[in-house]
Amino acid sequence: MIDALLEHLLRRAFAPLVRRGQLEVVLPAGRVLRFGDDGAPQVRIRFADRGAVWALLRDPDLNLGEMFMQERLVVELGTVYDLLELLLRDAHQAPVPWSVRLLDAWRMRLRTVLQNNLPQKSQANVAHHYDLDDRLYQLFLDPERQYSCAYFEQGDETLEQAQRAKMRHIAAKLLVERGQRVLDIGCGWGGLSRYLAEVAGAGHVTGITLSAEQIGVARERGALSPCAERLEYRLEDYRDTRGPFDRIVSVGMFEHVGTRFHDAFFRQCRNLLAEDGVMLLHFIGNSDVPDFNNPWIEKCIFPGGHIPSMSEFTPAIERAGLVVCDIEVLRLHYAQTLRLWRERFLLQRARAAALYDERFCRMWEFYLAMSETAFRYQDIAVFQIQLARRQDAVPLTRDYIAERREALRRRELRLS
């Protein structure tokens, strides 16, 4: 009786989602359910126990990743990326079950609690992800440790080429001039700040982060830079920084601010920016209506994080008195970046397991696969917002971006 009920509920759950490709679901008692049209990809999963089936049905957003991590949902054919592709690529056409709608409504109400990113909580959230063993990030990132969306000018670049192109693109939009003071909010391991000093010619670059692991590497690499005297790194919350700065850049940090603090963030940026200054904000955004952080990502990967919609952050920019000079949406660039990261991570999986364990490796594989499919099949993209205090802070047309990119490219060649 219980097995028949589980079979019925799984059919109702999977049939509307899996329209293309093939999914085989092996129940704990051995019965096999099939979904799809026999196309690609072809995936077979097995539930180790009835409890795993109930968990997935009760809260799929949280428990698909949980069951995979615990090996209570085992992918026997294909990969977890293939499974997520089957479930997500046609999900926008499937009806949302009432139980999921109730969970979603409850999670929307919890957003302000989970995103209460006061300084102490912000540092704890950062430590959860960014203060992992530094050797882990060496396994899949490029040598400059760019842990954010790369920029694919042609589409077939290597990770190193695309990450260098990202820094070049950002520096061009920032209109960095020699001698200027630049602030890098959320500087990570310092790759972008070094580029701004060494290639773009900034007079002084201050990088701030809340990660103790990152600041150590940034300082160490900064000391080896030919522009060491123009680089400074601080373990500092953006709310404590003092200016002014001619240019401000922030890459992959705004997702950790939280909606409650958008006003404080943009007010502080305006206060830190010189009267004729320019700011470039690069972050993951939601192209749809406001939503909540994925519960599995919230629990396991980025506590306190949020992917904001345009309607959430643009009013805060307006209230802060900043001028939006340019908005660019990088749609599939992060999907390609994540694919390269995932491939590199899987090649180095044994080394990752030696640093942590197999459960951690399953968590990381699920995180990279889930993120990639979100960028490919859901309304997630990367926004680059150019801001200023004055309308005339940047040229009238966007022609200068390509011109400056080419000038930076030539400078890179001279310095190499």
List alpha helices for 43-118, DSSP H.
Answer: 50-58, 60-69, 80-88, 98-114
Question: Quick check: is 201 in a domain?
Answer: yes
Distance of alpha carbon 192 from alpha carbon 146, whole angstroms:
8
Three-state secondary structure string covering 36-53: ECCCCCEEEEEECCHHHH
Q: How does DSSP classify residue 229?
A: G
**C-alpha angle 223-224-230 in degrees, rounded to nearest 5:** 55
In this structure, the answer to whether residues 377 and 345 fall within a common structural domain is yes
Question: Quick check: is 105 in a domain?
Answer: no
Among residues 101, 115, 87, 107, the alpha carbon closest in space to that of 294 is found at 107
In this structure, the answer to whether residues 46 and 142 fall within a common structural domain is no
The answer to whether 65 and 353 are in contact (CB under 8 A) is: no
In this structure, the answer to whether residues 77 and 124 fall within a common structural domain is no
In this structure, the answer to whether residues 320 and 228 fall within a common structural domain is yes
Q: Give the per-residue pLDDT at 117.
A: 67
In this structure, the answer to whether residues 203 and 274 fall within a common structural domain is yes
Three-state secondary structure string covering 257-322: CCHHHHHHHHHHHHHHEEEEEEEEEEEEEECCCCCCCCHHHHHHCCCCCCCCEHHHHHHHHHHHCC
Mean pLDDT of 395-412: 96
Q: Which amino acid is at 72?
A: R
Task: For residue 264, give the CATH number of its domain.
Answer: 3.40.50.150
Single pTM value for the model: 0.94
Q: Give the per-residue pLDDT at 97.
A: 74
In this structure, the answer to whether residues 315 and 393 fall within a common structural domain is yes
Mean pLDDT in the chain? 93
Question: Quick check: is 104 in a domain?
Answer: no
Distance of alpha carbon 134 from alpha carbon 338, whole angstroms:
19
Q: Give the per-residue pLDDT at 130.
A: 76
- Which has more confidence, 127 or 192? 192
In this structure, the answer to whether residues 196 and 341 fall within a common structural domain is yes
Task: For residue 67, give the CATH number of its domain.
Answer: 3.30.1050
In this structure, the answer to whether residues 25 and 171 fall within a common structural domain is no
In this structure, the answer to whether residues 54 and 137 fall within a common structural domain is no
Mean pLDDT of 12-40: 92
Q: Give the per-residue pLDDT at 118.
A: 72
* For the chain, percent of residues with pLDDT exceeding 70: 98
Question: Quick check: is 275 in a domain?
Answer: yes
**Poorest-confidence range of 8-22, 163-177, 244-258, 268-282?**
8-22
Is pLDDT at 82 greater than 80 in this prediction? yes
Distance of alpha carbon 372 from alpha carbon 280, whole angstroms:
24
In this structure, the answer to whether residues 142 and 89 fall within a common structural domain is no
Give the chain's domain count.
2
Is pLDDT at 1 greater than 70 in this prediction? no
Q: Which of 44, 79, 95 is the last residue of a domain?
A: 95
Q: What is the pLDDT of residues 138-186, one digit of tens each?
A: 999 999 999 999 999 998 999 999 999 999 999 999 999 999 999 999 9
**Domain hosting residue 15, numbered range:** 2-95
Cβ-based neighbours of 30, under 8 Å, separated by 6 or more: none
In this structure, the answer to whether residues 240 and 273 fall within a common structural domain is yes
Question: Quick check: is 184 in a domain?
Answer: yes
